[in-house]
A and B are shown apart, each in its own frame.
Chain A
């Protein structure tokens, strides 16, 4: 892949007197100037509220917003009417837990998640289960850090109404076999919700190929602005579901005592949407398509292979998740024996290397791994082999300073 670093202004700055090496794209990605410029241009030239104005500026703003929706929908192989803008993955999943939960889940019904879920794809289902008197169950993982499909088969029952699973684990990096999971889930009449926050930015994802019913992801992890995300859902489900947030935009007719709902996707977009952010996300999609998602995936696989090999070669490092880079997304979690991850992150920061340390919003998984926290590096289009090498040799210096 061509070197894209020049497109990312923040990567030109220094941290602790060194050029910034940003290895935390799993938390949020950096933004290319094309995206920054698209957002700035919207505010400079076109800012107006959408869908209401009868004047030229509002018409242009609405066109830009809907064009962005079209681009994002095409990016995941979906219809624009089934593509709802949300604030992010978390809001999309909460929308589902509330609205889908309302029509599909009753007392004694079962919701199936996995132990590798981010809290955002776990806690909303906990709250729903408590609200409805439903049973929440979690599929385990194998010693290799892959989803235990035998356990999945065992826990999938005729009472299972919703299966909520991550496409790519934000800790283990594991890529889960969604088509297989969806087929099994549909076999018992369950609907399948996929947290795609760590997959859509990094690989080609087409909703029809995955076979799921809902897909949620965030703009800010895919070169877009913060505050914009996407919920895709099958029309037949979305039509049936009640609105989540109510107010302006999502209504058709309102009386003092009642209201009727707008068409899809607006039924789920109450209030003024994040228009500039949507336009920025559209620009991010353009940028990614310009690189080619297959090329993005290949680039990350190479970086993961290099980092994984380097980490496994160091006997003071413990790596979590699959050993095969082909079975992984662009994240790698690890620990240095006897050294707290926060110390590792602080020492690397002194060399201008930004990594994540903590439980990565996946406490149940860390409990299962038997560690309170872990270090995580995650890669994206702008990372290079030289940066991986710099990271690995800095890790050796951390071990020298703190290892016992």
Chain B
């Protein structure tokens, strides 16, 4: 019996890009509090693209498989491409997810959004600082 897609079982048993990065540019954690699922996502960014990525965490097979799959989907991608990524993209990549488990499937997507927000905020601050320096 394996109503979970083989892809999910595969990523659950053999997670890709699992672990931590040294000196990541962004390091964020998100959780589904009621079920105890946690995903930590680290990105290293070079020339506006994801040079390397790691995830860590604990939780159900769907949340962990989705996180593993997500790291594969975003590695090497430009940040602006990732900004345009929609939650349907990860759900489709997972081969569809039943309604009660959408939160599990989308935990890593929410973590990615948080990472992008955090990077964006940093860029803005850097931009403001650069602007301020130009003025002086």
Residues of A within 8 A of B (CB): 339-343, 346-347, 350-351, 358-359, 371-373, 394, 397-398, 400-402, 404
Docked-complex contact B4 and A372, CB < 8 angstroms: no
Distance in angstroms between the alpha carbons of A404 and B3 in the assembled complex: 17
Nearest 9 A/B pairs, CB to CB: A372-B36, A340-B60, A350-B3, A397-B1, A342-B60, A343-B61, A343-B60, A401-B2, A373-B35
B100 to A, closest residue via Cβ = A346
Known: A401-B2, A402-B12. A343 touches B35 (CB 8 A): no
Contact with A along B1-42 (1 / 0, CB 8 A): 111100001001100000000000000000000111100000
Contacting residue for A373 out of B4, B36, B98, CB 8 A: B36
13 sampled A-B residue pairs with Cβ under 8 A: A339-B61, A342-B101, A342-B104, A343-B61, A346-B62, A347-B3, A347-B4, A359-B34, A371-B36, A373-B36, A401-B1, A401-B2, A401-B9
Distance in angstroms between the alpha carbons of A346 and B5 in the assembled complex: 13
Contacting residue for B61 out of A340, A350, A400, CB 8 A: A340
Closest CB of chain A to B21's CB: distance in Å? 25
Q: How large is the interface on B (under 10, 10 to 19, 20 to 34, 35 or more residues)?
A: 20 to 34
Distance in angstroms between the alpha carbons of A371 and B37 in the assembled complex: 11
B104 to A, closest residue via Cβ = A342
For residue B76, which residues in chain A have a CB less than 8 angstroms away from its CB? none
Closest CB of chain B to A398's CB: distance in Å? 7
A350 to B, closest residue via Cβ = B3
For residue B2, which residues in chain A have a CB less than 8 angstroms away from its CB? 401
Known: A372-B35, A402-B61. A347 touches B1 (CB 8 A): yes
For residue A339, which residues in chain B have a CB less than 8 angstroms away from its CB? 61
Docked-complex contact B35 and A340, CB < 8 angstroms: yes
Contacting residue for A343 out of B1, B13, B34, B62, CB 8 A: B62
Distance in angstroms between the alpha carbons of A62 and B74 in the assembled complex: 66
Docked-complex contact A350 and B1, CB < 8 angstroms: yes
Contact with A along B59-74 (1 / 0, CB 8 A): 1111100000000000
Distance in angstroms between the alpha carbons of A95 and B12 in the assembled complex: 47
Known: A340-B35, A343-B61, A346-B100. A401 touches B4 (CB 8 A): yes
Docked-complex contact B13 and A404, CB < 8 angstroms: yes
B61 to A, closest residue via Cβ = A343
Distance in angstroms between the alpha carbons of A373 and B61 in the assembled complex: 14
Known: A342-B101, A346-B98, A404-B13. A358 touches B1 (CB 8 A): no
B59 to A, closest residue via Cβ = A340
Known: A340-B59, A346-B100, A401-B9. A358 touches B4 (CB 8 A): no
Known: A401-B9, A402-B61. A342 touches B1 (CB 8 A): no
Distance in angstroms between the alpha carbons of A132 and B36 in the assembled complex: 33
For residue B35, which residues in chain A have a CB less than 8 angstroms away from its CB? 340-342, 358, 372-373
A401 to B, closest residue via Cβ = B2
List 7 additional A-B contacts (Cβ < 8 Å) besides A343-B61, A347-B4, A397-B1. A340-B60, A340-B61, A342-B62, A350-B1, A401-B2, A402-B9, A404-B13
Distance in angstroms between the alpha carbons of A398 and B34 in the assembled complex: 22
Docked-complex contact A346 and B101, CB < 8 angstroms: yes
Closest CB of chain B to A372's CB: distance in Å? 2
For residue B101, which residues in chain A have a CB less than 8 angstroms away from its CB? 342, 346
Known: A343-B62, A358-B34, A372-B36. A400 touches B1 (CB 8 A): yes
Contact with A along B101-115 (1 / 0, CB 8 A): 100100000000000
For residue B98, which residues in chain A have a CB less than 8 angstroms away from its CB? 346
Distance in angstroms between the alpha carbons of A402 and B61 in the assembled complex: 8
In B83-97, the 8 Å CB interface with A consists of: none
